[in-house]
Amino acid sequence: MKNFNSFKENTICIICAKSISEGLPNKNVKKIQNIPLISYAFNKAKKNKFKYICVSSDSEKVFKLAKKHSIKVFFKRSKKLCNKNVAKILAWKDAITKSEKFFKKKFKYMIDIEVTNPLINENDLDIFLKSFFNKRQNYDGQFCITEAKKNPYFNMIEYKNKKYVLSKKKKQNKITARQNAPKVFEHVAGLYVFKRDYILKSKHILDGTIYGYKVSMLKSFDIDSILDFKLVKLLLKNKKII
Q: What is the pLDDT of residue 29?
A: 95
Q: What is the pLDDT of residue 151?
A: 87
Q: What is the pLDDT of residue 179?
A: 73
Provide the H-helix boundaries in 10-87: 37-47, 60-68
Integer Cα distance of 12 and 153 in angstroms: 39
Buried/exposed code over 183-212 (b: 16+ C-beta within 10 A; e: otherwise)? eeeeebbbbbbbbbebbeebeebeeeebbe
Q: What is the pLDDT of residue 242?
A: 66
Integer Cα distance of 146 and 155 in angstroms: 17
Q: What is the pLDDT of residue 174?
A: 73
Confidence (pTM)? 0.91
Tell me how crowded residue 11 is: count the other CB atoms within 10 A of its CB: 22
Q: What is the pLDDT of residue 111?
A: 98
Q: What is the CA radius of gyration of the chain?
A: 19
Domains, the chain: 4-139+190-203 (3.90.550.10)
State the chain's maximal CA–CA distance in angstroms. 60
Q: Which residues of the chain have pLDDT under 70?
A: 1, 171-173, 240-242
